[in-house]
Amino acid sequence: TRIAFVIGVNQKDLSNNSIVPSMESQNELKYAYDIYMVNASNDENNGNIANTSNNMTVNDKSQLLAKEFATPDIINKGYDCCVDIHSTNDSNSYVYVASDNTVTSQNLVNQIANTTSVGKYTPEGVTYTEAVSLPILESNIPSIVYVTAEFFSNGMSNEVNEIISAIDNFVFNVSGNSNNNSQATNTAYDNSSATTDSSDTNESNITNPTMPGNGNTNEVD
């Protein structure tokens, strides 16, 4: 079972985030985890993306990058679940599903709410779900949104560790049931970086798809 975490959408800064150190502190996980880091704060070397986004906000840029690179990569690699992670500084942390037409994702949110300090709440008027969570759900892959007040930290977060533990103890239906958001076809994505297949080793990786044509493995920026 492979889980994708996406961080950086609608974020101006990824430094001092608590997600990576919290994940790196885990050493007895059942599932494999990859972290997609979307960095829209520095796009001056990104050719056409930079030329077309000079008048865009950081939120718009990050959503565009996620939708064009991270999201297709997650879909094409057939992850069993995607967690789109965002920060908040004006509310408690919460989780939700971007669509009501899903079973597995709703069950996962319920398990998180029942076993951690993070509750359920569905905000109105958000647009970032169109970049990551909704297209992934439409591809029959479970996806949830996790909005945390502990996104920024000098180290790991107990709350984030709770979320990781709840996900790791959730039983995903990976045998195939499209009505319950089963896993999608696992095919290669040409513009992604080569990542370790951690399905059997249960390790966590930071996955950074490459920009088209640059030939290097970098963050999505």
Q: What is the pLDDT along the chain (221 residues), one digit of tens a residue?
A: 999 999 999 888 888 899 999 999 998 999 999 999 999 876 544 444 444 556 788 889 999 999 999 999 999 999 999 999 999 988 899 999 999 889 999 999 999 999 999 999 999 989 999 999 999 999 999 999 999 999 998 789 999 999 999 999 999 986 543 444 433 323 222 223 323 333 333 445 655 543 232 333 234 44
> CA nearest 63: which of 133, 15, 4?
133
143-148 and 94-96 beta bridge pairing: antiparallel
> Residue 42: how many CA atoms within 13 Å on its side-chain side?
6
Q: What does pTM read for this prediction?
A: 0.77
Domains of the chain: 2-207 (3.40.630)
